[in-house]
Structure 1
């Protein structure tokens, strides 16, 4: 014979404060867990779509990112003369010499300093990145201290509106445009003239080179030819989109790992709190448990596995995030409630009635 749901509900209502605190603690941990998953997934979505499948990025061999890469001018000259690089209307190579650096700007909400990537580019950059569009103002002029700010930067940071002046690299730079990159990583960058950035920061070499393939399927052939060139031994070629996919995996894995460690620690606290609350309920409600058993309710019904799913919490970002959050909530509910439930099921009926 199974325990009626109304009995379970009345029992929870009688201890509504401790029940609410327990459920709230578990829900908070699940919320943090789901938030970490959503953050990692959002990062992957932004980076995976960055770049073009027909663009190639050139980095120093063994460099993990553009920030740690160095490519000299001689290498750029070799690539500009390479037949595998696409040509524009004027017959010039569709190649952008680029430098990537990091500066600090104040955030709008917290007024705290945050890191912002700045990218110095060549005149062909917008042709290479067809998904980047100027939505306010105009493109910056090469040879000047003008910059274009990504939409994400304009939303999050202070002092980056049209006409504003930014101070970095010992110079002042005027914001002349706002760019929309369709939610990709370029939305979180500030673009300017590569030569002006390098001069301001005293940097003699580029971070990377990006070019468009002359033939969409010619990457492997071009890579093999350049690897055989002694002048190209210190660099490696990657599909631009593949490079950003690698970056997303690294960052997302770090976020997930850190988040799982934090939520695991929090979950132990939540489960211990649930155990304490439920043990107290068993002790305080010993008479009710004994009467339930005396009325021939099965002991397995006192354990009541069905009630654990009530703690489930989900966020409607993706089926994967929802599933993981639900599983995490159920595991915490099972671990936190199983031992007190077993204790209640094994309660001696006679002793419980006498004690009450």
Structure 2
């Protein structure tokens, strides 16, 4: 015979105070665990959505970021003539030769400096990123010292609002528009005319080339042609893969720090669950003896107490997950370890995060309740009834 689940749940309800305190401890651990997963999911989502699958980024060989890269004009012209590149309605290649520079700007609230990416693009650059849309103001004019700022940059940095001015590259630049990049990494950038930024920073090489392929299936051939051409020392990557790689170092750091805290806290939570379940066994010795006398086997007693512990952990898990879900309304910014620029992203709750979090909570309950459950199952009928 199996002990009914309703009987197990009623036992938890009868001990509401200890159940609540133990569940609260478990909820705290689950909250930490879930927020770490949500932070990592938000980071990866931000950087992956920065790129388009059909877009390709060409950078200097062995360069990990656009800031480290340099593409000479002659090399850029060779890449631009490749037949795999898509053509626009005007017959021109869907390609943007871009300059990427790191500058320091002061934050509005603290007046402390932080690194920001300045990206020089041509008019094709906006067409290649359909997720980037102007929300106010207008597009910068080619040949002018005008820039547009990401929504995140405009909120956080002094001088980045519409009509304000920023000084860098020995020039004063006017912010003429704001854009929203759909919570992608471009929200943390400032865009301007590529040729003007080349002149301002006295550069004679592009940082990267972004292009769209006429056919998705032609990527491998395009990549091989570019990387084996003796005139070029360049690498080609799909844009989504390129930006996803930017998250690896920061994601690793977040995971190590978060998992370390989760393990430390979970040990305390499991000890608390174990103490609670041991107390439950001690207070219900007579009840356990009665159940055994009625014909319930040891494994039924073991299963009942394990289920009780896991049900307790599930309550704490759901509470912790509900608390963590509120973090979705918060934004977070930190330095990208690859580019050393500030990157804004948010917490993201996905189905995978929910599943991992609940499994983590159930594992804590199982470990915390195993020894008390074994203790309950090993009680002898006569001794248990006599103790009652």
TM-score normalised by L of structure 2: 0.73
- How far is the alpha carbon of 1:289 from its aligned partner? 4.8
Tell whether the 8 Å contact from 1:79 to 1:85 is kept in structure 2 after alignment: no
Give the distance between the partners of 1:295 and 1:217, measured in 2 at CA.
Answer: 69
- 1:176 is paired with a residue whose SS is strand
Give the match for residue 311 of structure 2: 309
- How far is the alpha carbon of 1:284 from its aligned partner? 5.4
- How far is the alpha carbon of 1:118 from its aligned partner? 2.8
- How far is the alpha carbon of 1:58 from its aligned partner? 0.8
- How far is the alpha carbon of 1:140 from its aligned partner? 1.6
Tell whether the 8 Å contact from 2:19 to 2:312 is kept in structure 1 after alignment: no
- 2:187 is paired with a residue whose SS is helix
Give the match for residue 69 of structure 1: 69
Asked if residue 29 in structure 1 is aligned to residue 43 in structure 2, the reply is no
Tell whether the 8 Å contact from 1:66 to 1:208 is kept in structure 2 after alignment: yes
Give the match for residue 367 of structure 2: 335
Give the match for residue 264 of structure 1: 263
Give the distance between the partners of 2:71 and 2:93, measured in 1 at CA.
Answer: 17
**Structure 2 stretches lacking a partner, 5+ long:** 326-348
- How far is the alpha carbon of 1:124 from its aligned partner? 3.0
**Distance of aligned partners of 1:3 and 1:159 in 2 relative to their CA distance in 1, 3 Å threshold:** farther
**Distance of aligned partners of 1:272 and 1:139 in 2 relative to their CA distance in 1, 3 Å threshold:** same
Tell whether the 8 Å contact from 2:155 to 2:161 is kept in structure 1 after alignment: no
Question: Where do 1:129-168 residues align within 5 Å?
Answer: 129-154=129-154, 160-166=160-166
Tell whether the 8 Å contact from 2:84 to 2:214 is kept in structure 1 after alignment: yes
Give the distance between the partners of 1:177 and 1:146, measured in 2 at CA.
Answer: 9
* Count of residues in correspondence between the two structures: 355
Give the distance between the partners of 1:253 and 1:219, measured in 2 at CA.
Answer: 29
Tell whether the 8 Å contact from 1:149 to 1:179 is kept in structure 2 after alignment: yes
Range moving further from structure 2, 114-123 or 319-328: 114-123
**Distance of aligned partners of 1:64 and 1:269 in 2 relative to their CA distance in 1, 3 Å threshold:** farther
**Superposed CA RMSD:** 3.9
- How far is the alpha carbon of 1:120 from its aligned partner? 2.1
1:195-229 Cα shifts (integer Å, max 9, x gaps): 44455556654321113346665444444444443
Give the match for residue 320 of structure 1: 352
Give the distance between the partners of 2:172 and 2:383, measured in 1 at CA.
Answer: 82
Give the distance between the partners of 2:78 and 2:180, measured in 1 at CA.
Answer: 32
Range moving further from structure 2, 287-296 or 46-55: 287-296
Range moving further from structure 2, 218-227 or 5-14: 5-14
**Distance of aligned partners of 1:80 and 1:8 in 2 relative to their CA distance in 1, 3 Å threshold:** closer
